[in-house]
């Protein structure tokens, strides 16, 4: 049945119990923020008044038009009864054959990954989720004399074309195989209640490196870090994240969270040097309808 809004909080609680690595906003945003996504469907499986599980399908505005995010959560005491498959069929009913379903399975949950594979999903990539407590221990590195910092919550700059070109050039990360991000996509990562956070580094006034994310519930969530290849080899990835930490802490955040594809060795090395530690990992999975 369609999920009534009065059960949303119970649905969020079930997801957090089943997957402790979730941060609440990751589960709540699709349910509570009407502007977060379109093409939404939320379904619940119930036995009387007991919630057996729930599922969703939607297109976050940052996703390409032919992608739909999906999630299925089943209470542990009601596993192996066909509840999950029934929910998946309900949330995906009526989708066009050109649509690709996208989901994620935590890497410490081999049972769920095996089920996803039985349902026809294939692994796209392995994402490492890391956390840094703020304020960061250790001294910050000084900025070189030719490097300046510009904070932004809108990604609007006087030299917009130069910034946009830098953003495109910086996307040599493995995720760029699936879609490139522009200013609109980065802004669409924001959910209701999140405060945008952005730091641009300039070298001799030219846009050179960007760190973009948001803050909510005392955490900063870093969605993208990139350095123009023309300026690589100078430690700008480290410096731009360092400045993001300062900005986030000043705004009340006491931890930074970020996710990176396991083979993105450059940014993972930067994170490790800054003191980030892995807290979980996720397999991105997909399936054509």
Question: Could you read off the pLDDT of 216-225 as tens digits, one per residue?
Answer: 989 999 999 9
CATH of the domain at 206: 3.40.630.30
Dihedral Cα 237, 248, 159, 238, nearest 10 deg: -10
| 258 and 154 within one domain | yes
Question: Could you read off the pLDDT of 76-107 as tens digits, one per residue?
Answer: 999 999 999 999 999 999 999 999 999 999 99
Do the domain assignments include residue 127?
no
Number of compact structural domains in the chain: 2
Q: Is residue 53 predicted with pLDDT exceeding 90?
A: yes
Task: State the Cα–Cα distance between residues 190 and 175, nearest whole angstrom.
Answer: 19
Q: Is residue 25 predicted with pLDDT exceeding 90?
A: no
Predicted confidence at residue 22, as pLDDT, reads: 86
| 158 and 89 within one domain | no
Using the 3D structure, point to which of 73, 98, 123 is the last residue of a domain: 98
Domain that residue 90 falls in? 5-98
Predicted confidence at residue 192, as pLDDT, reads: 82
Enumerate the β-bridge partners of residue 149. 201
| 43 and 144 within one domain | no
Predicted confidence at residue 206, as pLDDT, reads: 98
Give the pLDDT band of residue 138 (cuts 50, 70, 90): confident
Task: State the Cα–Cα distance between residues 105 and 150, nearest whole angstrom.
Answer: 37
Give the pLDDT band of residue 176 (cuts 50, 70, 90): confident
Do the domain assignments include residue 244?
yes
Using the 3D structure, point to which of 76, 98, 120 is the last residue of a domain: 98
Residue labelled with tokens 């999975």: 285
Q: Is residue 178 predicted with pLDDT exceeding 80?
A: no
The reported pTM is 0.89
Omega before residue 130 within 30° of 0, cis: no
């Amino acid at each position: 049945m369609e999920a009534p809004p009065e059960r949303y909080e119970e649905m969020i609680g079930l997801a957090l119990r089943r997957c402790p690595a979730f941060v609440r906003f990751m589960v709540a945003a699709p349910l509570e923020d009407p502007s977060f996504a379109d093409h939404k469907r939320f379904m619940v499986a119930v036995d009387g008044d007991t919630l057996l599980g729930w599922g969703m399908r939607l297109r976050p505005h940052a996703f390409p038009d032919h992608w739909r995010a999906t999630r299925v959560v089943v209470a542990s005491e009601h596993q192996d009864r066909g509840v999950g498959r029934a929910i998946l069929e309900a949330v995906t009913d009526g989708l066009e054959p050109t649509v690709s379903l996208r989901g994620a399975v935590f890497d410490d949950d081999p049972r769920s990954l095996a089920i996803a594979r039985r349902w026809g999903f294939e692994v796209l990539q392995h994402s490492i989720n890391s956390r840094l407590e703020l304020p960061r221990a250790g001294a910050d590195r000084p900025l070189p004399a030719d490097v300046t910092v510009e904070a932004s919550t809108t990604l609007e700059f006087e030299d917009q074309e130069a910034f946009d070109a830098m953003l495109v050039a910086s996307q040599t990360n493995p995720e760029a195989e699936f879609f490139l991000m522009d200013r609109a996509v980065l802004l669409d990562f924001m959910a209701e209640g999140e405060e945008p956070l952005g730091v641009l580094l300039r070298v001799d006034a030219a846009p050179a490196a960007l760190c973009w994310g948001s803050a909510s519930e005392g955490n900063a969530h870093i969605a993208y870090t990139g350095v123009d290849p023309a300026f690589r080899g100078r430690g700008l990835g480290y410096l731009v994240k360092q400045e993001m930490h300062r900005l986030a802490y000043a705004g009340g955040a006491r931890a930074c969270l970020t996710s990176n594809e396991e083979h993105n060795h450059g940014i993972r090395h930067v994170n490790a040097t800054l003191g980030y530690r892995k807290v979980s990992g996720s397999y991105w999975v997909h399936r054509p309808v």
